Structure 1
């Protein structure tokens, strides 16, 4: 497993749990040292125990020597980062290409080189070209095996997946049959739960990842825009979403209004798919618009908070509950809290924030004036207004009375709709939520 980041580490630990011997190659000395000591550099429920048990069993190892890790391997997974390229949003492929060259020089026998990273169409074939150029004598096949792991529930998603997508080089002499046999062997433990292994060509597998994430992003932006309309017309977006979601063609998931999507996948993948479509001469206008809607959504939420405070937050104390882009993760990438808190700080607010696990990661990304608190009620102490940005379960348990007694003011702006409007107003709080009358 080349790369010990989120995707690589979760995948490696889960493959090891399958009973497979996995060697993780990590080139960051700090991250590698932490992993060797059993310290997990990311927050993912259950991952620490999974890593520890498989390290003790000898199935999971960490190092920085690609040659040693690749020697004799049946499959080598590339799980390095593909961040948006500066300027145009396309995926930056330099780390993937570097990994391919390093793998080429380490191959010792027939190996399937698998892209686990999210990559544009044509990447697997480009990897094959790089390996052939470096090692004309190498015996290998390429495959694409995109991940569909939700942060906060990644282990469950890996162990009990909706599907496993595997792209093969159907243009190979054997039609990709040898590589397919290796991939079936790797995923054999999922046979007992009848998880679908869906085989397709390389380009289709690469595009399936982008299409899936972009569709979910579209769904989120759609319900956010519908929530805006509900507010204008006196409708309730939660009842509306239930009415929509019970239709099997639509489904209930990702119909929860909020301050916009963030994280490591949706923002990056929607930009990348937009760029892929433009370069192919087949623009994905729906996805391009979704990117614009989501960016505007985050900025608009800061304006909503300021409006709820009477049009100005200058000199006011604002309590913020939740900083990460979603619960059960410490991931701050593209989190709505970043533009929102910067806008509030620029407007003169004193921001007091609390997040159960994300504050250390958040600090470099948020205004230096932000005050970090020990718990939710500490953040709410003497606040003029309270804002909910992330729907952590512990916030749902907060009693309206406790919130009112902690605050100096009465304004509560719930951007995740975690509280009961009637219960909040019964305590005399000026409660605002998303898409509810």
Structure 2
């Protein structure tokens, strides 16, 4: 029984190996192409079924007979599959002819030379097309659909570059070139529209922003934002510009939730990593809206990447200070202390850092340290908050007159809580 089984296996393998005729090879290729006809370059070619035997009028030595038979079989197998793309659609394939079958050359040597020339031409053509596709990818790194389409085209080129296909590659390469021309035309049209939008937006937005007409500016950008949402505008320059202006406009209107939304969109669509100002603006907005941990996440990013980010509106000492103050607001004073000390080591000539230090010391009961810190803050630049906490600290130390005087000064500067403390401690 074992010997019979072994014999059957050997016969099966032998039959399978010798069955790879030109008809079989043509059928396999044709089936894949027929299955993917009109499906766009995203179509995944299936594994062909076992090739049938040639019919009357078909030859096992004819690649074309096998290809045509396979193409029709693959087309029928696919039937209802219709996953076509709406952009960058590929051109329809045609049946290929067997170059050996159609050769009109009489001399074997001449035929070989002709085939060599055809092969060299196709390989050079394929190389040029791949260079054009790679350039498109390089110039449009943000367009994921386009990148996918380009990768699919390159895969098709690499298939027909294989020795067994290169002689019949010209028709396929011509179709790929047609697709490249369509893509380039669409990109030119998109860039033209995008360029006009950028120029108009830039001029109008700058004028409105300088006039602080933020309501008008937000309304002006609504149609552009709608086009972005609909996918009609996709280039990141326009997206980044639009979201940046909206972020700053909403921040100036104290629309903190909207500021957070648009700073996030600006960050996601930035063409560079040097966008520290938007992380900083988002961190401030989160803190002011009560999202202290979220705010510290943005400050952590800025601190970690401080050396490689282009800062315009903040310093490293400010980042440590703001993170410390978020912990003060969370009443997590032990977490706040090392960050405020780090900020002071970096810069001890900024009033708001001393202000944070004074408020922290007051909350943990170090009233003398609170008075000293607030005095340094007031010396640099007086604020209602620094007078408020110095006044409270003086009262805790028994210096009622000094404390009440500071609270009065705080009230004059706009701190309404100071009058409640005056009523409770100074009358």
Shorter-chain TM-score: what band? under 0.3
Q: Going by fraction, where is helix more abundant, 1 or 2? A: 2
**Structure ID, larger Rg:** 2
Report the TM-score, using the length of structure 1 for normalisation: 0.24
Structure with the bigger RCO (C-alpha within 8 Å, sep 6+) is 1
Report the TM-score, using the length of structure 2 for normalisation: 0.24
